[in-house]
Structure 1
Amino acid sequence: MSSAQQKIDDLLDRLNQDRSPRSPHMSGHTPFGGLPPARPSLPIGLNSNSNSPTMQRPRHLAFAHKANDNTEVERRLKEIMKNSGDLLIDDKVYYTDIKEMEHIEELGNGTCGHVVKMKHKPSGKVIAVKQMRRSGNSDEAKRIIMDIEVVLKSDCKYIVKCLGCFITESEVWICMELMDTCFDKLLKRLKQAVPEEVLGKVSVATVEALAYLKDYHNVIHRDVKPSNILLDSKGNVKLCDFGISGRLVDSMAKSRSAGCAAYMAPERIEPDPQNPDYDVRADVWSLGITLVELATGVFPYQDCKTDFEVLTKVIGTDPPSLPKDKDFSTEFRNFVACCLTKDKKQRPKYTKLKNHIFIKKYQETEVNVGDWYVRALESVGDRAAIRKASSPE
């Protein structure tokens, strides 16, 4: 077995520890980011028999590190708990008892919990609530804290707005603005590609959101994909789900925590042994894969039956591109090609991306994304979704 195959096998072993589906289109993606499966913590390419110095840390040192880690997690969680129940809704703070939240319907399920639509009875506002159980697992606690901290501290119109949270001894609820759907579910519903002008606005929103995370919070998202890009009937496009986001050290991500294998950049699948760290350009690759999927209506590696085949193709073949027989602009083709540059050193970061002619064009061009969304639903006769998109809260 080649070293590349071994690395892919090791990665898949960790990806599948807590994940049942193997295909990106059979994974039951949920709107509002759903809830990510529990993520692996071992470095890609290493297994329990690795000779890595990290894996050979003496037990008493590893235990001390773990204890310190858990103490820090608990400290941060207790700090957040001080504001548990304080919800900012329509510029007014409500000191809310969890019993004042009325369940309306389920929106989606994930490995770690579920997302529900709820009514905040004191204000009458309908919101989305990501509900997670506190299991005592420190890795899960870290993901919860990362998700809460990123959305609570973010002030960017392209990132889903967090209204506050509830933290009890057994559960964590993250309260968010309610969006209509995610692009993954919408693509399945429409069974047709998304127009280039709409993807122009999607690209602007996603690049701006990712750049904001990097510039203001020193964070890399690590799980950019259609299910984590949300849409509403007003035409707002927003990024969500920050549970596996990572802190950057000297602009590099040290952790090997995985996102969805299908959208993973080559340097995360097969790290350079001399320079295994990766940076925001890994998310740029994921955006490129996402745009190809939305622009064509099909996942670019659709012929692959397993994650292993997908990852092998990512490493061993040329990057996907927009079909030559489709009527895409030169600017869009070039933007996607930039995102899907295989050599990470040649792939642009956000400053360069934001100056790309395609992004510049759609920063200025008016596109009624909300109107397109409603008309797209009408085209497939989705009356329930049309009523939902057209009705006030």
Structure 2
Amino acid sequence: MSTTSFQNKLNELERRLKAENSSRERDRARFHDVSASPRRPKPKPLCDFGAMQRSSSAPSSGVRRLKPGSLDCSPLMRQPDSAEIEQKYQEIMKMTGILTLDGQKVPSDITDLEPLGELGHGTCGQVIKMRHKQTSHLMAVKQMRRSGNKEENKRIIMDLDVVLKSHDCPYIVQCVGTFITTSEVWICMELMSTCLDKLLKKTKKPIPEKILGKMAVAIVKALHYLKEKHGVIHRDVKPSNILLDEKGIVKLCDFGISGRLVDSKAKTRSAGCAAYMAPERIDPPDPKRPDYDIRADVWSLGISLVELATGEFPYKNCKTDFEVLTKVLQEEPPLLPEGGEFSLDFSSFVKDCLTKDFKKRPKYRKLLEHTFIKTFENEPVDVAAWFSEACRLMEPSKPDPFAFFTGH
């Protein structure tokens, strides 16, 4: 590839990233004063659901959620008929306004939720800590603006179906219910204690290998579940989307809902954070058929593990996304430092994740067989005790454990 062509590719990707960031800022501004709005309109039907692509290789209960511009590895695609879409729509709307709290289904209205403060910004909205007035149940509510795009409306229904059906995976943050109006979608999620990004910034210390071992097991299993059960690629694996609670339980969040509500086809390559983006997403071998698959998330996991294990982002001294993307393409993949601080198994696992040629990079089934994962599947590690100590050491004082949820 010529220098000029390479430069043009990066310039275009940087432009899309800036446009996406600007869009997020506008969405945040619209949601800034959420607590000042005492009432919200009750759910009304969504409209105009046309045909959607479903993967013939995915289970019948799941849907291939790969947007135009991402590689769908299944050789055959079919369009579900309108009756199928309508049935799915009716199923989702029947569950709207019903929260599952402590195992009980509680019919609720948006006005039953009391805002307790902002927890963070999501991909296209914000996350609010809320209390259910009747039960005092606490939850994290992601509030997102619906676009007027008909195709996006169809994706809302199909993606919400995945969220609600992921209740059987212990490694994914659980959805307790939804509210859908003509203008917004609210996703009510279980409240976790912190995300790894903020934990790292607060403690200013790397996370020990044995803790990362348990975290890696959880994340690989979560990603494998999404792929096998629902045909979903996460596309945004990073420390801020890996959550932890005081019991030491690790879960993945933000797996595709918010990123699809306002995305357009032109933004597909910039979906996800540039800093963790795999080389094949930045510079696809065939621009007419950008071929990245689940192995792009494997790369993002590898980058995240290096950052968490060393306490530093591996691509240092970069002031812009453009500089990071250039290094991803031009430099050798980052590795864990040598010298005995990390085990050979951990170093090998990270090296496998950060194989630059994605065709040689392992998929989840192979990663699950890696000695590093096998070891920490069985080895007892008290993650809760480590987390408790980490909170105690935070300065200036031990924080409210519910102050960290971001899911962005």
**For the superposition of Structure 1 and Structure 2, which TM-score range results when normalised by the shorter chain?**
0.7 to 0.9
Does the 8 Å CA contact 2:392/2:398 hold for their aligned counterparts? no
Change (3 A) 1:128 1:157: same
C-alpha contact 2:202 2:395 (8 A) present in aligned 1: no
Q: Structure 1 stretch 140-149 or stretch 83-92: which is displaced more?
A: 140-149
Provide the secondary structure at the position in 2 that maps to 1:222: coil
Aligned pairs for 1:59-208 (under 5 A) are: 79-110=91-122, 112-138=124-150, 141=153, 144-145=156-157, 147-154=159-166, 155-208=168-221
Q: Is the 8 A contact 2:160 2:257 kept in 1?
A: no
Q: 2:207 and 2:165 mapped to 1: Cα distance?
A: 32
Question: Which range is displaced more, 256-265 or 315-324?
Answer: 256-265
- Output the CA distance in 1 between the equivalents of 2:401 and 2:92: 37
- SS of aligned partner of 1:116: strand
Say which of 1, 14, 19 aligns to 1:17.
Answer: 19
- Structure 1: segments with no counterpart, 5+ residues: 22-40, 45-67, 248-254
Match of 1:6 in 2: 8
CA distance in 2, matches of 1:11, 1:378: 41
What TM-score, normalized to structure 1?
A: 0.79
Task: Compare 362-371 and 332-341 and name the one that shifted more.
Answer: 362-371
- Alignment of 1:327 onto 2:341: yes
SS at match of 1:373: helix
Residues 352 and 43 (structure 1), Cα distance of their counterparts in 2 relative to 1, 3 Å cut: closer
Cα distance in 2 between the residues matched to 1:83 and 1:133: 19
Q: Which amino acid aligns with 1:198?
A: I
Measure the CA separation in 2 of the matches of 1:312 and 1:233: 39
CA offset at residue 88 of structure 1? 1.1
C-alpha displacement at 1:185, in angstroms? Answer: 0.9
How many pairs are equivalent?
342
How far did 1:222 drift? Answer: 0.6
**CA displacement 1:7-58 (0-9 Å, x = unmatched):** 222112112113059xxxxxxxxxxxxxxxxxxx8859xxxxxxxxxxxxxx
- CA deviation profile, 1:164-205 (whole Å, cap 9, x unmatched): 101122221100100011111111111110110110011000
What is the distance in 2 between the residues matched to 1:146 and 1:10?
Answer: 30
> Please, which runs of 5 or more residues in structure 2 have no aligned partner?
24-66, 71-79, 261-267, 404-408
Partner of 1:383: 397
In the alignment, the residues of structure 2 paired with residue 375 and residue 9 of structure 1 have an alpha-carbon distance, to the nearest angstrom, of: 44
2:293 matched to which residue of 1?
279
- Deviation per CA, 1:58-107, whole angstroms, max 9, x where unpaired? xxxxxxxxxx9xx9999966652232111111111111122211111110
Q: In 2 relative to 1, CA 141–229 (structure 1 residues): closer, same or farther, beyond 3 Å?
A: farther
**Mapped contact 1:182–1:231 kept (Cα < 8 A):** yes
Q: What CA RMSD, in Å, does the superposition of the two structures yield over aligned residues?
A: 3.0
CA contact (8 A) 2:120 2:128 kept: yes
Higher relative contact order (CA 8 A, sep 6+): 2
The residue that corresponds to 1:60 in the other structure is none
Q: How does 1:279-298 map to 2 (within 5 A)?
A: 279-298=293-312
Match of 1:361 in 2: 375
Q: Is the 8 A contact 2:97 2:107 kept in 1?
A: yes
